[in-house]
Amino acid sequence: MTDQSKDLKVQAKAQKINGVRGMNDLLPADAAQWEHLDHVLRDVARAYGYEFLRTPILEATAVFQRGIGEVTDIVEKEMYSFEDRLNGEQLTLRPEGTAALVRSVIENNLLYEGPKRLWYTGPMFRHERPQRGRYRQFHQFGIEALGFAGPDIDAEIILMGQRLWDELGLKGVRLEINSLGQANERAEHRAALVTYFEKNTAQLDEDSQRRLMTNPLRILDSKNPEMQALIEGAPKLLDFLGAESLKHFNAVQALLKSNNIPCKINPRLVRGLDYYNLTVFEWVTDELGAQGTIAGGGRYDPLIERMGGKAAPACGWAMGMERVLELMKVSGSLPEPQAQCDIFVLHQGGETLTAAMIIAERLRSAGIDTILFCPPDGESASFKSQMKKADSSGAAFAVIIGPDELAKDEAQIKDLRASGEQKSIPLDGVLEAVMNALVGASE
Ligand code: HAM
């Protein structure tokens, strides 16, 4: 073959197209874990009377600019934003759920009849550098309680988190908590921070020098190791809180204590989004390397008004589902892989296929998960190769309909797990025989 003809051959073979970096497929082997997680999340949300709300994945960019704040990593660097080619609208793939949910609550007037407890789940998008536990498309479960002002709801949403970690069997999760006070208290603290950092500008990295003018609180959030000593010595917001803010913070802590939820006050916890006031918190673990925050949230009383709604208090949190699943793996609490089906039906094509398909439908109508063998070549396959598939499906029993069985109006049922026993049953008694066998197997 000449080089030219080799080139032509290579060109003729279609190039494979890969997924987008940092955006992962959920493969069948992991589906059962996600399903299990979804179940537990739904159950816990229900247990506390939270209602489901789903917003679209795309929102007007302004939702996040105004909601999360212009001077945040998310809005400055991480959003997937683009202009709609048809009408020039500025759109953004949601980087988080809270601002979008508040947009929906206002637009649909959901607080009209009073406070609301809501939850959501779904994909979020942030253009971060992918690494273990940090992806460009990731999934959050979040809860938001809107219209409640007291510390009781702060404590309630934290209790929900603790219940979740317990139900999921997570080990080594710590709760860190702080109070960001109110705007006037943060303003006083901000002035003190600016004075402090201005005296030490040489030690600030480029990002922090910029933030000194725009959002100095964010400097406390910096992970730059060379700035940690400087940050450690900075004025603490907690020292600037007034009596009301302290009362709220103390009440939250007292409620947590009376429910045996240990927490550590972390004065440097400021969160990466700008809508918070008063209580903020994060659940962290040392088991996942650098991305050890599995969930975070807090109170965001100013947000609803800032988004154009009638002022109402609110609080909530969201967890990273990939990180929680990873921690479940580390904690050894992932569920066992599930069988694909209860029953695997084998046949030899032709009339035996017709009978097998009718029987498989009858089993499914009775709530029995059933896979009907379909030969990959569209023709037929030996019983031996079908039986291999039946075994690897994890089915408890195989139902076999060959020409000999069909001629006698019979089928065979074979135990695939325990005894391996195989016996003949009347064709019109397959459902009954299968039900009895499944009941017997589960006893
Ligand atoms: P957040 O701290 O930005 O808060 O995100 C919440 C959680 O999402 C994080 O603790 C982390 O587990 C997960 N997460 C964030 N970014 C990534 C990523 N790139 N890859 C994987 N997981 C990630 C919020 O989003 C707020 N909306 C939480 C909230 C709700 N506050 C009040 N209500």
Per-residue pLDDT tens, the chain, 443 aa: give them: 556 666 656 566 899 999 999 999 999 999 999 999 999 999 999 999 999 999 999 999 999 999 999 988 999 999 999 999 999 999 999 999 999 999 999 999 999 999 999 999 999 999 999 999 999 999 999 999 999 999 999 999 999 999 999 999 998 999 999 999 999 999 999 999 999 999 999 899 998 998 888 888 889 878 889 999 999 999 999 999 999 999 999 999 999 999 999 999 999 898 989 999 999 999 999 999 999 999 999 999 999 999 999 999 999 999 999 999 999 999 999 998 888 999 999 999 999 999 999 999 999 999 999 999 999 999 889 999 999 999 999 999 999 999 999 999 999 999 998 888 999 999 999 999 999 999 988 88
301 to each of 68, 283, 287, how far by Cα in Å?
13, 21, 33
Cα–Cα dist 384/414, whole Å: 13
Residue 272 Cβ contacting ligand 1 at under 6 Å: yes
Pocket probe for ligand 1: among 180, 287, 323, the residue whose CB has the most ligand atoms within 8 Å is 323
Domain range holding 405? Answer: 343-435
Do 409 and 326 lie in a common domain? no
Residue 173: CATH number of its domain: 3.30.930.10
Please state whether beta strands 90-93 and 422-426 pair in parallel, antiparallel, or not at all (unpaired). Answer: unpaired
**Residue after which a domain boundary falls, among 308, 331, 354:** 331
pLDDT of 1 reads: 55
Cα 124 to ligand 1 centre (Å): 9
**Residue after which a domain boundary falls, among 331, 360, 383:** 331
Cα 99 to ligand 1 centre (Å): 12
Cα 369 to ligand 1 centre (Å): 37
pLDDT of 4 reads: 63
Residue 296 Cβ contacting ligand 1 at under 6 Å: yes
Cα–Cα dist 331/361, whole Å: 40
Cα 380 to ligand 1 centre (Å): 51
Cα–Cα dist 144/207, whole Å: 31
Query: Hey, whose CA ends up nearest to atom 21 of ligand 1?
Result: 134
Do 264 and 166 lie in a common domain? yes
Do 291 and 351 lie in a common domain? no
Do 266 and 393 lie in a common domain? no
Give the residues across from 397 on adjacent strands. Answer: 343, 415
Do 382 and 301 lie in a common domain? no
Do 249 and 283 lie in a common domain? yes
Cα–Cα dist 180/315, whole Å: 13
Kindly list the strands in the beta sheet with 370-372, ordered across the sheet, starting from the edge strand earlier in the chain: 370-372, 343-347, 397-401, 410-415, 422-426
CB atoms within 10 A of CB 427: 15
Do 264 and 409 lie in a common domain? no
Pocket probe for ligand 1: among 26, 180, 293, 324, the residue whose CB has the most ligand atoms within 8 Å is 293
Do 359 and 314 lie in a common domain? no
Instruction: Specify whether the CB–CB gap between 119 and 51 falls below 8 A.
Output: yes
Q: Report helix, strand or coil for 34.
A: helix
Residue 94 Cβ contacting ligand 1 at under 6 Å: no
**208 inside domain:** no
Do 77 and 140 lie in a common domain? yes
Do 259 and 369 lie in a common domain? no
Residue 377: CATH number of its domain: 3.40.50.800
Cα–Cα dist 427/424, whole Å: 9
Nearest to 245 by CA among 298, 157, 185, 187: 185
Where helices occur in 283-376 by DSSP H, the ranges are: 303-306, 321-331, 350-365
Do 138 and 177 lie in a common domain? yes
Cα 205 to ligand 1 centre (Å): 25
pLDDT of 220 reads: 86
Nearest to 283 by CA among 345, 327, 346, 242: 327
Residue 157 Cβ contacting ligand 1 at under 6 Å: no
**101 inside domain:** yes
Residue 326 Cβ contacting ligand 1 at under 6 Å: no
Query: Hey, whose CA ends up nearest to atom 9 of ligand 1?
Result: 295
**207 inside domain:** no
Strand boundaries in 31-95, DSSP class E: 51-52, 58-60, 80-83, 90-93
Query: Hey, whose CA ends up nearest to atom 23 of ligand 1?
Result: 320
Count of structural domains, the chain: 2
Give the residues across from 125 on adjacent strands. Answer: 137
Residue 98 Cβ contacting ligand 1 at under 6 Å: yes
